[in-house]
Structure 1
Amino acid sequence: MLAALSVPPDAAILPKDSDEQYELTFWESIKDSNHVGDYEAYLNTYPNGRFSALAKARIARLKAAAPKTESKPEQKTETARPEAPKTEPPRTEKKPEAPRAEKKPEPPRPPARAETPPEKTPAAPAAAAAAAAAAPAAGNVKEIRDCPTCPVLVSLPPGSFTMGSASGDPSERPPRKVSIAQGFAIGKYEVTVAQWNTCVEAGACQRLTTADGPAAPVRDVSWEDAQQYLKWLSTLTGKSYRLPTEAEWEYAARAGNGSRYWWGEQMRPKMANCKDCGEPWRKEGPADAGSFAANAFGLHDMSGSVWEWVADCWNASHAGGPSDARARDAPNCRTRVIRGGSWRDGESYMTAATRFKYEGSVRQSQNGFRVVRSGE
């Protein structure tokens, strides 16, 4: 039987740029998963990998144990009725890029659309309040909601910040000054299962199979799936919704703080939903949106919970990046950036500069997203 390899706790934030290390990091991130799709993604990427026999055995065992609960994305079933998010979640070990998955047909239109009840927002701990006081622009933010079932948005002012890190993984370098010339509104929480299901019920989004509750962040969605939701939301509201650019995402995550984490230089308990970050945490899935402290802009789960898709194509470093909020895009781009880490990751992935990549067509159980509305 193959032995699982561990990444030392003091390892670099992101894997070294070698095929072997990418494979090890990929396996570390899924080795305890109960999702058949995670092991299938590994086998598609590494059909002759060192863990291929173990991955096949796990798939066979999971299918035998729960033939009706693990299904291919095309066969996903509808989840529970939506409830509004509370406060937000955390992160895991980073993974290499996975293979492209076949695009799925849209599901048939179900009868009615569920309503999302008003959200609950727990009070932030004293540590978060202190961080909020340190952010110069925090007092200028306001909340927006374009419809009862739409994500709650926080309107952020223009500003500037230093993007990246001089001491983190090579992909986070070199740090550079970025100016956000125009304000924008970004999701206060990651898109939840309830909000996704509203799109499903409208016949515009793919059905998902999940054991997560309606207030949990939606996950196991590809970059392309996220585009379906954004297109539907834009049509529903008459507003322009999209994914944040990578620069917008980090500006929002830092909330005026230039430190390693958005709250300071050291990890603090209960500030992020990750396996080293304190309760509430469970390895099976992320906590409900809003379960952890908000940053100084009032945004939850920018660290941990689920990885978040952004608009940009993947570049191996920040070299040559724009000095404004534009996305780094390219024709026929296949590999997209994900940010923020997930509940499965350790604390080193919770930093504001953490970034990684995935093919835009791949669904992976740790990947979700939050929305941006242009024109603030």
Structure 2
Amino acid sequence: MPEAQKQPVNWTSRFSRIPTAQKIFFVDHLDTLIRAGIPLMQALEILAKETSQKTFQRAIRRLKEDVERGSPLSDAIEKQPHLFPRMYVKMVAAGEVSGTLEQSLEQIASLMKKSHALATAVRGAMIYPAVIFAAIGGIGLLMMTVVLPKLLMLFEDFEAELPLATRVFIALVKLGSNPIFLLSAVAVLTGLIVLSLVLLKRSPDFRKAIHRMNLRLPLIGRVAIQVNLAQFSFTLSSLLKSTIPIVEAVNIAGETCTNVNYRNALSDAAARLKGGNALSESLRSFPSLFPPIATEMIMVGEQSGQTESMLMKIADFYSKEVESTMKNFSSILEPVIIIILGIAVAGVALAVIMPMYTLIQSI
């Protein structure tokens, strides 16, 4: 880990999350100001005044102070790892060395916009099913704890033997309306969630297994693969355009992947590259993570000397795939929701209507 990353960070900065939109605004406008011929320190001061987020404003002023003391912008950014990941530091440093800082900032802004659009598409598509399932859960809880207990108490007052489905349903309703059971269930569920989060953070094997399982889930797995491929491709393309050596670029691009299996695979690919293998050949060792279409396009790019542009085409392809899948997500999920609701309604109807026939026959 670089020394700059070991430095203590202001507690306010650590716990006040800086929105991605603010970071994009900063990089985009810094590029514009520098292209307009405004000195770097003056540009940073202007952006500090323009930024409405107080935590980010303080961070920009610290960047300005470091630059005033003679530090390159890349070193100043590296001292605040909570602001920008390592790949942006490397791209800025490459731009400073080659005298193309404006181009590096433009590439960073483009990369951030694409990453943000990708994340927004995924989050946006998840809102509808989350609301639907929350509503179903709320209605189900209300039925189990308020409505059905009063209705089913009527059946218990009759001496006639109730159908098995109704007896089971009454037992479930009693269990569900018991405060001790509900509190215990919430406590157990909370404990399992906390334990899972701790294991995800501290156990590499558990994290790897969960991430591998995510890649195999219907629909979700396909989206996860598309998101990681898109993120990897346009990150690596941007790094290579910034003249970052390919071995280092692959390692850095791997860090941006959300799935640990992709990070491990790209770390392994970087080691193979160091040993003399081509990137396409290295990635072919992981067919479940890198489909043939991706490795073949990379191979064509390597042969034609246009690896960066080919990677960007791959990124655009998978970004469009994610957008298309997310747009259709609701229509795919609707039949599943209807089936679940149908089964639930049929079960309740069966448990409530059957005893009515039994009671009528016993009269």
Higher share in strand: 1
- The answer to which structure, 1 or 2, has the higher relative contact order (CA under 8 A, 6+ apart) is 1
Larger radius of gyration: 2
Q: TM-score when scaled to structure 2?
A: 0.23
Higher share in helix: 2
